[in-house]
Amino acid sequence: MTDTRSANQHDDRYTVMTVCTGNICRSPMAEIILRHVVEERGLGDRVRVMSSGVSSEEHGNPIDPRAQKVLRERGYAVDPHHFAHRITRDEIEQTDLFLPMTASHMRSLLRQLPAGKRAEVHMYRSFDPNLPQPKPGQEDRIDLVDPWYGGPREFDVAIDQIEEVAPYIVDWIETQL
Within a domain: 124: yes
Within a domain: 1: no
How many domains in the chain? Answer: 1
Active site residue 20: yes
Q: Which residues of the chain have pLDDT under 50?
A: 1-8
Instruction: Pick the catalytic residue from 3, 79, 90, 146.
Output: 146
Instruction: Pick the catalytic residue from 26, 66, 86, 125.
Output: 26
Within a domain: 107: yes
pLDDT tens for each residue of 19-71? 999 999 999 999 999 999 999 999 999 999 999 999 999 999 999 999 999 99
- What confidence score (pLDDT) does residue 6 get? 42
State how far the Cα of 154 lies from the Cα of 145, in Å rounded to an integer. Answer: 7
- What confidence score (pLDDT) does residue 3 get? 42
Active site residue 26: yes
Strands 47-53 and 97-100: unpaired
